[in-house]
Amino acid sequence: MLRLNPIAAALLGVAALPAMAQDPLSYARYDQVRTTDLHLDLKADFARKTLDGYAELSLNWLDKNAKSLVLDTRQLSIARVQTLDASGHWRAASYMLDRPDAKKGQALRIALATQPEKVRIYYHTAPTASALQWLTPAQTLSGKRPFMFSQSEQIDARSWAPVQDTPAVRFTYSARIQAPQGMRVVMSAEGDQQATGAGGWNFRMPQPIPSYLLAIAVGELELRNLGPRTAVYAEPGRIEAAAYELADTEKMVAAAESLYGPYRWGRYDMLVLPPSFPIGGMENPRMTFLTPTMIAGDRSLNDLIAHELAHSWSGNLVTNASWKHWWLNEGFTTYVTTRIVEALYGKEVADMNLQVEQEEAMASLKEIPAAKQSLLTRDPDTNPANYTDEGLAYPKGAWLLHTLEDRVGRDVFDPFLRGWFDQHAFQSATTEQFVTYLRKNLLEKHPEAMSDAELDEWLYGAGIPASAQHIASPRLAALDARRDAWLKGELPTIELGAKDWIALEWMHFLNDIDQKANVAQLKELDEAYSLRTSQNNEIAFRFYLASVHAGYNVRDPLNVFLMHVGRQKFVVPLYGAMLKNPSEASWGKSLYLKARPRYHPETQASVDKLMKKN
C-alpha cells in the first residue's frame, strides 16, 4: 500500500481527529462527509474464500474544510486508493490503516488535497471476514457446489466493503459481481430474474439503505415466483418446500400495506439459506434472508416471515440512528408482526402468539441483569458496553406500543404509527425523536394514555412495568388447565387433546413443562405425539430442551438436529442444557466437536464460550 508522507499525514489531520465519531462503533466522520452512493465491482473466489475488486463511493461533503475521508474496515487488504479529479481522471491517493481493534476493526484514513466527488478503494476480503461464511459443497443440500452468504448486521459490513459502517448513514448502491459458472448471485437490491451471470451479475438499489442492510449470497440456487412482486430462492433440493411454505407472502405484503401504507421497496423476495445461517431471518431489503428451520411443512411458522416483512417499515424504512436505539427497529417490528398475523390468521391466533411472546419475555428477565433490562440507557452514546439487552428489546418495545394502542384505540393509534413511518421514511432516528413525535402527535391529544413517569419507566426502567397489560388467550387458558392436570398425573397423556394443537399451543405447553415434567411423562408424550421426529423445529427444540433437563434420552434425534441446524436460538440453549446435565455433558462436548464446522462463526463463538465456562 502507499505509505503516508508527512504532508499526507498533515492533510489527514490524524492527531487532531477524535478517537470516535458520533457512533461509537464507527470510525467514520459522517459529520464531515457522507456516502450517498456505493458501487461494488467484485469477484467471488471460492478457492481463496475472498471477494476481490473495488468499491466506489460517491460523497457529499458537509464540512467544507475537511480534507480526509475515514472509512470502517475489518481485515480488508487494501491494494490502492484513487480519487476522481475535476477533469474526470482517477488519481492515486495516500492512505493509512489504523491498528486493528478487536471489535471495530481498522479505520481507513484517506488523505485528500481537495474534496472529490468519488473515491475508489481496490481491495480483497479475508477468508475469515466476519460477515461472510464460505460453505464447502458438503455443507450444502446437493453436495455439488460451495455456497457463500453474508450477515452484515450490526457492524460486519466493514469486513467485506470499506464503508461508513453506521446506521446513521444511508446510501443507494449498485454492484457487478462475478461468480463461478453454474452459481447464482443474489443481493439486497434489484436484480434480473432472467440473468445468466455472463459478464457478471448486476444489481441496483435505488432506495437509500444503511450499511448493515448490504447483503450478498452466491450458490446453487433456483427461484419460484409467488406473486407479482414476491419470489423465493433456495437450493434446488429445498425450493419446492420453500415455495409451499411461503405461498402466503403476497397476502402478507397486502395486509401490511393496509395497515401502514405502501410497500416502498419494489419487490419482496426471500432467500432460504443453508442450515448454518445463525439467526431466524435478516430483513435485507428486497431480499430477506431466512433460516430453513422455518420450513415446517404446514406454514405454521410464518410469523417469522411477517416479522421480516414488517421490517420494511420499521428498521429498513425508519432505522435506529445507532445501536443504542435498537428497540426502534426490533420493538416496533415485533408489534407490527402481531398486527400482520392478526390480519391474516385472526385475533385468536394473534393473541396466542402475543401471550407466548409476553410469557417468554417475563421468563427471560431471570437471566438478564436489571441494569440491562431497560429499552435504552441514559448514558451518552459513547460506550456500547452500556447498551441494554438486545433480546428483550423485541417484546418489551412491542409491549409499550400495544399498551399505547390499547389505551387510545386503533382508530387513533394506527394513523399515529403510520405517520411515524411516513414522516421519517428513509431516515435514521433516535428514541428522543420518537418521544418528541409521540408527545406532539398522540399524548398532547390523549394525555390520559400515558404519563411522563410511566413512559420513563418503559424506556429506562428495569423489567416490565406493573401497569403492563398481559394478554390472556382463552384458548391457551383452557390448555393450561389440561397441562396442570397432566403434570399432577390427573389427566392421561392421550387425553391432552394435543393432536388438534397448532404450533403456538405446542410451544406454550412445552415452555411451561420444561423442568417440571419427569422422564416418564416425557416418554409418554413422545410416544403419543412423535415429538422426537417433529418436522417443526420450534416444537422439536423445546421438546429436546425439556428432555435434556429431565434426563429423558433423546440422543439420536438430538444428534441429527444439532448436526443439521445452526440457528443460535436453538443450538446455544441445547448445548448449555447438556453441559449442565452430568450424564450428557461429555456426550454434548463430543457432539459439538463434530458439528462445530457446520456452524456459523457467530454460533461457534457463542458455544465456544459455553464450553470454556464448563
Catalytic residue chosen out of the listed positions 394, 544, 575, 599? 394
Angle at 66 between CA 65 and CA 70, to 5 degrees: 175
Q: Return the SS3 of 178.
A: strand
Q: Are strands 33-45 and 170-178 parallel, antiparallel or unpaired?
A: parallel
CB-CB contact of 287 with 190 (8 Å)? no
Q: How far apart are CA 310 and CA 333, in angstroms?
A: 5
CB-CB contact of 460 with 376 (8 Å)? yes
Q: How far apart are CA 43 and CA 224, in angstroms?
A: 26
27 is catalytic: no
Angle at 561 between CA 555 and CA 565, to 5 degrees: 150
CB-CB contact of 233 with 252 (8 Å)? no
Q: Residue for cell digits 461533503?
A: 61
- Grid cell, residue 207, equals 432506495
Q: Are strands 230-234 and 216-219 parallel, antiparallel or unpaired?
A: unpaired
CB-CB contact of 137 with 143 (8 Å)? yes
Q: How far apart are CA 72 and CA 556, in angstroms?
A: 45
Angle at 220 between CA 215 and CA 222, to 5 degrees: 90
Q: How far apart are CA 109 and CA 447, in angstroms?
A: 50
Q: How far apart are CA 269 and CA 287, in angstroms?
A: 5
**Amino acid identity, position 98:** D
Burial degree of 37 (CB within 10 A; 0-12, 13-18, 19+)? middle
Catalytic residue chosen out of the listed positions 56, 220, 283, 308? 308
250 is catalytic: no
Can you spell out the DSSP letters for 413-426? HHHHHHHHHHHTTT
Phi and psi at 122, nearest 5°, equal -95, 135
Alpha helices in 380-440 (DSSP H): 390-408, 410-423, 431-438
The residues annotated as belonging to the active site are 308, 394
